[in-house]
């Protein structure tokens, strides 16, 4: 699929600045506010521990980067299954549905403009966002001890 035929998934961001403010507050207490670009305020209404979020975020981005060496994109279903296989026995994910958490983090990363997805039959194709570097300072970190610096985020009220 060429870039010309890449149709963005509705979960692609950016989200409103209020969502970023809520995320900064959540990170101050060790949580990450989960974003959802299909919601009016950009928030999905719940938080995840920074530790879990960081594990899944890195897993998703690493899977996309490994897939980029071959085809520039990877299927969402494959990324989620790999996360399930990798983390289901991990103590940090006990009593959690790894499949669901990986899906929510993938949707969150789309809302944060870190990745893009396009529908592809039964599963979406994922790739790193070409928009992210234009929207977010590359120094933004999801480290448990840092709050993202979001001064370079620009959101147009008419943008969906």
Give residue-wise pLDDT tens across range 90-111.
888 887 889 899 999 999 999 9
pTM: 0.74
Residue 142 in domain: no
Could you tell me which of 7, 20, 22 has the C-alpha nearest to residue 154?
A: 20
Neighbours of 91 (CB within 10 A): 6
Residue 73 in domain: yes
Q: pLDDT value at position 8?
A: 62
pLDDT band of 137, cuts 50, 70, 90: very low
Stretch among 33-47, 58-72, 81-95, 126-140 having the lowest mean pLDDT: 126-140
Cα–Cα distance for residue pair 135/116, rounded to 1 Å = 13
The residues, ordered by sequence, that sit 6+ positions from 30 with a Cβ below 8 Å of its Cβ are: 49, 50, 51, 144
12 is in which domain, residue-wise?
Answer: 8-135
pLDDT tens digits along 63-81: 988 887 776 678 888 899 9
Residue 44 in domain: yes
**CATH number for the domain that contains residue 54:** 1.10.10.10
- For the chain, the domain total comes to 1
């Amino acid at each position: 699929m060429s870039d010309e035929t890449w149709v963005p998934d509705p979960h692609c961001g950016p989200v409103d600045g209020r969502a970023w403010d809520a995320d900064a507050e959540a990170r101050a207490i060790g949580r990450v506010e989960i974003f959802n670009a299909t919601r009016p305020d950009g928030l999905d209404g719940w938080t995840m521990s920074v530790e879990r979020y960081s594990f899944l975020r890195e897993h998703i981005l690493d899977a996309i980067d490994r897939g980029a060496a071959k085809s520039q994109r990877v299927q969402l279903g494959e990324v989620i299954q790999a996360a399930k296989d990798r983390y289901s026995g991990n103590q940090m994910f006990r009593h959690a549905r790894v499949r669901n958490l990986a899906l929510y983090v993938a949707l969150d990363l789309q809302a944060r403009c870190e990745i893009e997805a396009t529908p592809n039959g039964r599963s979406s194709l994922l790739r790193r966002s070409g928009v992210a570097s234009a929207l977010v300072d590359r120094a933004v970190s999801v480290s448990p001890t840092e709050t993202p610096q979001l001064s370079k985020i620009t959101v147009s009220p008419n943008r969906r």
